[in-house]
Amino acid sequence: MLERHIGTPPGGEPVSVTAAAGGPVVARTLACAAAAAVLLGALGALVDRPLARYCHHYSDQIHDAIGTVSALGEATWYLVPSLLVFLVARFIVRRPALAARGLFVFLGVALAGLTCDVLKIIVGRSRPWVLFAKGGYDFLPLHFNSNYQSFPSGHAACAAAAALTLAVVAPRYRVRLLLAAALIALTRVVALAHYLSDVIAGAALAWLIVVSVQRAFARHGVALGPAGGKDIGALPSAFAQRVFGAAR
């Protein structure tokens, strides 16, 4: 069976393209989705409200302290620098490999954030502060009311997507990046902006999107590892050379 090594995903295991790999990949994806649904359901039923009440009890003491950390989950912190890296590397300094890394981070964070925004409206889950203000723990699907856009957490998704993409680009910092993303995500629970299941769902969604984007890059032979690796201009994909340019 023909197999070609194409890189290392955020989970740390090598990714290979195999002729008959479609079936097992789909089966594993469905199994993971089912397990995630069970976990999120259990958290929603058993953990979310008790944990929110605990955080609410201490909210006055800790809210100010976590505000800055929580803000680091905003997509702008990652979208603007990564887009600038792509544009400068692509059109000014002509470094295709660096341009690919910049676009990889940008797409990972942007797609994670956009997907969360759509799901928030579709699901319409009430935020924890609704529980304490009105006693509500319910859903209002397909409405543009920010009080009912709790699931999944966009901050958690963007922070996780940034950490996962940067972990691919700079794997030596993987542990610190993932710990930082986890801290940012948990502040959303403490700040009563989201339930625990919201941030876990956001992080899981980010992982799925980042892995999908990385596989898409890999299909065109685009290396995303540490700087100094194989350059885009030396790879066979014509599409990659059109997007990222050729090395000078």
| Distance, CA of 125 to CA of 140 (rounded, Å) | 6
Residue whose structure tokens are 């990046």: 177
Closest Cα to residue 107, out of 215, 201, 11?
Answer: 215
Q: Residue 73 in 3-state DSSP?
A: coil
Pick from 42-46, 58-62, 111-115, 153-157: least confident: 58-62
Peptide bond into 128 cis (omega under 30): no
- Residue, of 134 and 139, whose pLDDT is higher: 139
The pLDDT assigned to 28 comes to 77
pLDDT at 248 over 60: no
Q: Is the dihedral of CA 171, 177, 179, 181 positive or negative?
A: negative
Q: Which amino acid, one-letter code, is at 154?
A: G
pLDDT at 5 over 50: no
Percent of the chain with pLDDT over 90: 51
Note whether 185 and 160 are within 8 A (CB): yes
Residue whose structure tokens are 């990222």: 244
The pTM is what? 0.78
The average confidence (pLDDT) of the chain is 83
Return the top range by mean pLDDT from 15-24, 63-72, 212-221: 212-221
pLDDT at 4 over 60: no
pLDDT at 16 over 50: no
CA angle 240, 6, 248 (to 5 degrees): 35
Domains and CATH numbers, the chain: 50-244 (1.20.144)
Residue 222 CB partners (closer than 8 Å, separation 6+): 100, 232, 235, 237, 240, 244
Residue 216 CB partners (closer than 8 Å, separation 6+): none
- Residue, of 15 and 179, whose pLDDT is higher: 179
pLDDT at 129 over 80: yes
The pLDDT assigned to 42 comes to 78
Q: Give whole-number Cα distances, 184 to 105, 134, 187, in Å.
A: 18, 27, 5
Q: Give whole-number Cα distances, 63 to 57, 181, 200, in Å.
A: 11, 18, 21
Q: Give whole-number Cα distances, 82 to 112, 176, 219, 224, in Å.
A: 15, 19, 22, 14
How does pLDDT run across 18-63, given as a tens digit for each residue?
A: 444 456 767 777 777 787 778 777 777 777 777 777 676 666 556 6
